[in-house]
Amino acid sequence: MDPALTPVLQAAGEAHHLATSIEGYVYPNEQNLLWSVLIVVYPYITGLVAGAFIMASLVRVFNVKALTPVYRLALLTALAFLVCAPLPLLFHLGHPERSFQVMITPHTSSPMAMFGFVYAWYMMAVLLLELWCEYRHDLVVWSERERGLKGALYRLITLGVRDLSPAALHLDERLGKVITVIGIPSAFLLHGYVGFIFGSIKANPWWGNVLMPVIFIFSAIASGMALCVVLYKELSWFRRRAVDAACLDEMGKFLFYALLVDFTVEGLDWLHRLYAAEESISVLKQLAEGRLFNTLLVIQLCLGTLLPLLALGATQILPGRIPVWFRQRIYYNSAFLILVGVLAMR
């Protein structure tokens, strides 16, 4: 055998790679998964923010008095997570030092660019304002009591408005209500927009469809409320205070309905896909049965949606039969499962 032939035949031997059928074929550039965990975490966090805010708005706008104990908790939760939300994005960027460019030369056709402004609007005009209105009275009291750096900080945050007369406090109430009313569509916009970022990618059949923003909104609401339940219980335990049973019952009720709507919308999406059976369905089925079997079917569907639905549904249909302590266990565990399920979905 001619030694010059060796490289040719060697290459032939190296063809262990089998040609894959069209359905499994991945473009060479798409072999590395670019949008991975860091990008997953970001919609999850903004979803929690939106959901927590909706829970807070239930108190202010819809006057669900039973939820008053968690009002401040929900708002602070929303703020805490909103502040952290850009962090995974910054870590993901190839050039985080250029990230300011998104605000300076935002490309108006890009959902990602516009999201910078939606985020800024929500942070400043909705969340911070509402917190300011809610806490202003306490802030003024603390600013007069505390000395040094802390006191200076409180004074700065009050913006110098020290009026504590009933008229001023009433104005705070009204301002807060107005802001919450604006805030509800803003919360929908915040997370619906993240859904739109994925839904607008027509290149990817798994993401690019009309229902994506809607799915994101409702799963966000479910996860945000679940977060409030979990945090309420944990913080009550931490602060050694008793849990308000009526509040928790009410939260469980809203959580159930949010989850039900979320399940319906996602079910609609899948039903439509399976029925229309467009070209992409074969790849999607392969994904669902293969790589995504655990996250989609086991964790998101069974553990994260069906199980909490059944458990929470039981508490709604047979409230008398289930003892309080067990109900609260159900709320807590269902909420936890929902949080995990929504993360699996992301």
Partner 1 sequence: MSSSKMPPQVARLVLLTLGIVGSYGDAWKLLVPKTFGEYGWYRGAALEENAARKPVFSGMKSCDECHSDVLQRLSKYEHKTVSCEACHGPSRAHADDPDVKTPKGTFVDSDCLRCHQSSPSRPSWLKQVDPVEHYRVDRCTGCHVPHQPKETP
Partner 2 sequence: MNHVISRRRMLGALGSALGWIASRPAAHAAKAAVQNVLASSHAPKGYDPTKHKWLMCIDVDRCIGCGLCVDACKTENHVPEASSFFRTWIERYIVKNPAPGGIDARGEVLVDSPNGGRNGFPPSLVPREEILRSFFVPKLCNLCEHSPCAQACPVGATFDTPDGAVLVDSNYCIGCGFCIQACPYGCRFLNPETKTAEKCSLCYHRITRGLKPACVEVCPTQARIFGDLKNPIENDPIQEFVRKNKVFTLKPHLGTEPRVLYANIDKEVR
Q: Which residues sit at the interface with partner 1, rule CB under 8 A? A: 2, 4-5, 7-8, 100-101, 103-105, 107, 124, 129, 133, 136, 159-161, 163, 167-168, 171-172, 175
3-state secondary structure of 330: helix
Q: Please identify which residue in 74, 102, 140, 258 interacts with partner 2, judged by CB under 8 A.
A: 102
Using rule CB under 8 A, residue 260 touches partner 2: no
CA Rg value for the chain: 25
Partner from partner 1, partner 2, none contacting 99, C-beta within 5 to 8 A by type: partner 2
Would you say how long the chain is, in residues?
346
Using rule CB under 8 A, residue 25 touches partner 2: yes
Q: Is the dihedral of CA 132, 133, 138, 144 positive or negative?
A: positive
Minimum CB–partner distance for residue 96 and partner 2 (Å): 8
Partner from partner 1, partner 2, none contacting 166, C-beta within 5 to 8 A by type: none
**Type of residue numbered 71:** Y
Partner from partner 2, partner 1, none contacting 22, C-beta within 5 to 8 A by type: partner 2
Indicate the residue among 90 and 159 with the shorter CB distance to partner 1: 159
Partner from partner 2, partner 1, none contacting 95, C-beta within 5 to 8 A by type: partner 2
Instruction: Measure the CA angle with vertex 241, ends 58 and 164; round to 5°.
Output: 60
Distance (Å, whole) CA 257 – CA 315: 12
Minimum CB–partner distance for residue 299 and partner 2 (Å): 24
- Tokens 């829970």, residue? 55
Partner from partner 1, partner 2, none contacting 2, C-beta within 5 to 8 A by type: partner 1
Q: Please identify which residue in 3, 28, 290, 323 interacts with partner 2, judged by CB under 8 A.
A: 28
Minimum CB–partner distance for residue 19 and partner 2 (Å): 4
Minimum CB–partner distance for residue 128 and partner 2 (Å): 22
Tokens at residue 40, please?
């997953």
Indicate the residue among 129 and 251 with the shorter CB distance to partner 1: 129
Tokens at residue 71, please?
């009002």
Contacts of 344 (CB under 8 A, 6+ apart): 295, 296, 299, 300, 304
Q: Please identify which residue in 4, 5, 21, 239 interacts with partner 2, judged by CB under 8 A.
A: 21
Q: Please identify which residue in 111, 171, 244, 303 interacts with partner 2, judged by CB under 8 A.
A: 111
Stretch of 102-110, 164-172, 222-230, 298-306 lying at the interface with partner 2 (CB under 8 A): 102-110
**Type of residue numbered 138:** D
Using rule CB under 8 A, residue 20 touches partner 2: yes
Using rule CB under 8 A, residue 109 touches partner 2: yes
- Name the DSSP letter for residue 35: S
Tokens at residue 295, please?
């996250």
Residue 329 · residue 219 · CB < 8 Å: no
Distance (Å, whole) CA 273 – CA 209: 10
> Which burial class, exposed, middle or buried, applies to 21 when counting CB atoms under 10 A from its CB (0-12, 13-18, 19+)?
exposed
Distance (Å, whole) CA 56 – CA 67: 8
Using rule CB under 8 A, residue 4 touches partner 2: no
Distance (Å, whole) CA 180 – CA 200: 29
Q: Which residues bind partner 2 (CB under 8 A)?
A: 11-15, 17-22, 25, 27-32, 34-35, 89, 92-96, 98-99, 101-102, 105-107, 109-113, 116, 197, 200-204
